[in-house]
A and B are shown apart, each in its own frame.
Chain A
Amino acid sequence: MIRIFKWGYLSLILALIYLPIAVLIVNSFNAAKYGNKWGGFSLQWYQKLFNNDALIEAALNSLTVSIVAASVATVIGTLAAVALHRYDFKGKGLLSSMVFVAMLTPEIVMAIALLIVFITLGISLGFVSLVIAHITFCLPFVIIAVYSRIKDFDMRMLSAAKDLGANELRTFWEVILPLILPAVLSGWLLSFTLSLDDVIVSAFVTGPSYEILPLKVYSMVKVGVSPEVNAISTLLLGISLVLVVVSQLLIKKDH
């Protein structure tokens, strides 16, 4: 009885979470322009999309930013988590509180703060500012994901590595990293997700030179969003899924 209820509830919530996506995907194949009714199966939006270079570019830009930002955030975050756990240093308390401040700061606040900083430092708004901003809001999530894994470590294992002649870098590379890899991967995945999903920070820190999908769509909202957006979103979701699943499988096989 409880079992049925549990599975029912899980499925219901997941179904609701997927409903908008389903609408989007269905409408990307819908011949009718205003997707209120089913006008028959059609690939016309995909055809139109392939002639819409600007939209495709925006989507690819989105993907690029997410991959770069997630990867850099994962590297910095992993090192930071290791440092926070392994070393005693001045300002350690400050560093960890900054991680929590960064995580809890509402996006809108971070968005304007970063905008002000980019203007102050003279960093032009575009790819670089976007990536920096995305790394910044992904970083705390990576740090916490990795840290919560390392803290269950047997520290003597690390002493053993040192005792056997491994310096810090090799200890990290040969002992710590293989053991925290699952957490590092989920940190990357979380970052990738946050980055791809972001609207608010991107809206403030990008410029006309570098358009990404959400902002392109946002600019269309007032005049009516073209169903090509459904098509590109469907494609992007498919690509992300393939990318992530393949990379996870590859990494799994490696170990």
Chain B
Amino acid sequence: MKVNSGYFRFFAIGLASVWLALFVFFPNLLVVITSLLTRDPSATVSLPFNLNSYWRTLDVLYLDVLWNSIKMAALATISCLLIGFPFAMAIVSLPKRWQTIALFFMIVPFWTNSLVRTYAIQFILGNQGIINKSLLALGLIDTPLQLLYTPFAVILGLCYILIPFMVLPLYSALEKLDPRLHFAARDLGASAFHRFIKITLPLTSPGIVAGCLMVLLPAMGMFYISDLLGGAKNLLLGNVIKTQFLNTRDWPFGSAFSVMLMMLLGVMLWLYYRASRFTNKQGGIHDSNF
């Protein structure tokens, strides 16, 4: 529909456009530029343009961190999906009123800052923490288990902090599923397992992809989780970037890592669009979720 222009229209479009241009597009551009500059102790960055920062990321030390954080983030994503999918399905099966309440209850803990909650997890997992104490009291173990400062603790923390970003897209994808599809499939004799594989899974795949994207890459940046739960050995990419920016003040190097993360995002989006075009599913991220 065509609508005559006016101040309202101008204002509505302008505000968001300016904001996103100034605080999303422009900053990302600056990150790319920074990554190509040279570190300068007096002015943080200076000319000339070069690719040195990128070459330096290929150091074994950093590749190790990169590989480790991809591994931990991937495991966290898979765990989130495996825990979150049945959870979202259970919510969708509730009456409408209860769905809202359940989602609200899932959100409330997030009003306590995630750092504070991570700190509480540290507390739970510690040698003197609830888990170890309970196990000791039950006589299941003799010496406390080393739970804290392990990859497991980091993955658990990531899962805990990021699970709503998995559940929300899954929920809205599942919510849009037409229940009649299931009735029809049932009518045709499909078993519960088949209905899940043939209907639920393919039709919610945009939600699954969105959820995974919203967990996997952010997970790699969660420096405070590895700080509190992982110790010095289980670093994430976020720790490296943070150190480069806030401690070492090597902005080009930190930016180079950041650009790599964005390129990873780009590759994943591209793969997703290729795949969704191939399977000819409409929608995708643009259509689904939240």
Distance of B287 from chain A, by nearest CB (Å): 9
Known contacts A23-B120, A197-B113: does B8 contact A168 (CB below 8 Å)?
yes
Query: What does DSSP make chain A's interface, helix, strand, loop or mixed?
Result: helix
The answer to whether B120 and A24 touch across the interface, beta carbons within 8 angstroms, is yes
Known contacts A106-B218, A136-B23, A196-B110: does B129 contact A113 (CB below 8 Å)?
no
The answer to whether A108 and B111 touch across the interface, beta carbons within 8 angstroms, is no
The answer to whether A17 and B114 touch across the interface, beta carbons within 8 angstroms, is no
The answer to whether B221 and A199 touch across the interface, beta carbons within 8 angstroms, is no
Q: How far is the CA of A147 from the CA of B215 in the complex (A)?
A: 23
Contact of A116 among B27, B117, B227 (CB under 8 A): B27
Judged by a CB distance under 8 angstroms, whether A210 is at the interface is: no
The answer to whether B9 and A83 touch across the interface, beta carbons within 8 angstroms, is yes
Chain B residues with Cβ below 8 Å from A133 are 23
Judged by a CB distance under 8 angstroms, whether B199 is at the interface is: no
Distance of A248 from chain B, by nearest CB (Å): 9
The answer to whether A79 and B12 touch across the interface, beta carbons within 8 angstroms, is yes
Chain A residues with Cβ below 8 Å from B17 are 91, 95
Q: How far is the CA of A80 from the CA of B17 in the complex (A)?
A: 8
The answer to whether B8 and A172 touch across the interface, beta carbons within 8 angstroms, is yes
Interface residues of A in 102-139 (CB under 8 A from B): 102-117, 119-120, 132-133, 135-136, 139
Q: How far is the CA of A7 from the CA of B228 in the complex (A)?
A: 33
The answer to whether A108 and B30 touch across the interface, beta carbons within 8 angstroms, is no
The answer to whether A196 and B111 touch across the interface, beta carbons within 8 angstroms, is yes
Judged by a CB distance under 8 angstroms, whether B3 is at the interface is: yes
Contact of B120 among A21, A77, A88 (CB under 8 A): A21
The answer to whether A221 and B119 touch across the interface, beta carbons within 8 angstroms, is yes
Judged by a CB distance under 8 angstroms, whether A175 is at the interface is: no
Distance of A33 from chain B, by nearest CB (Å): 13
Most chain A CB atoms below 10 A, which of B44, B113, B130, B228: B113
The answer to whether A17 and B106 touch across the interface, beta carbons within 8 angstroms, is yes
Q: How far is the CA of A7 from the CA of B227 in the complex (A)?
A: 35
Residues of A within 8 A of B (CB): 6-7, 9-10, 13-14, 16-21, 23-24, 27, 34-36, 62, 76-77, 79-80, 82-83, 86-89, 91, 95-96, 98-117, 119-120, 132-133, 135-136, 139, 141, 143-145, 148, 155, 159, 162, 167-169, 172, 189-190, 192-194, 196-200, 203-204, 213-214, 217-218, 221, 225, 229, 233, 236-237, 240-241
Question: Lowest 7 A-B CB distances belong to which pairs?
Answer: A108-B221, A80-B16, A113-B27, A20-B120, A168-B8, A83-B12, A79-B12
A-B contact list, 21 entries, CB within 8 Å = A17-B163, A36-B128, A79-B16, A86-B3, A87-B12, A95-B13, A108-B237, A109-B28, A112-B245, A112-B255, A133-B23, A159-B1, A168-B9, A193-B107, A197-B111, A197-B113, A199-B113, A217-B116, A221-B119, A233-B113, A233-B116
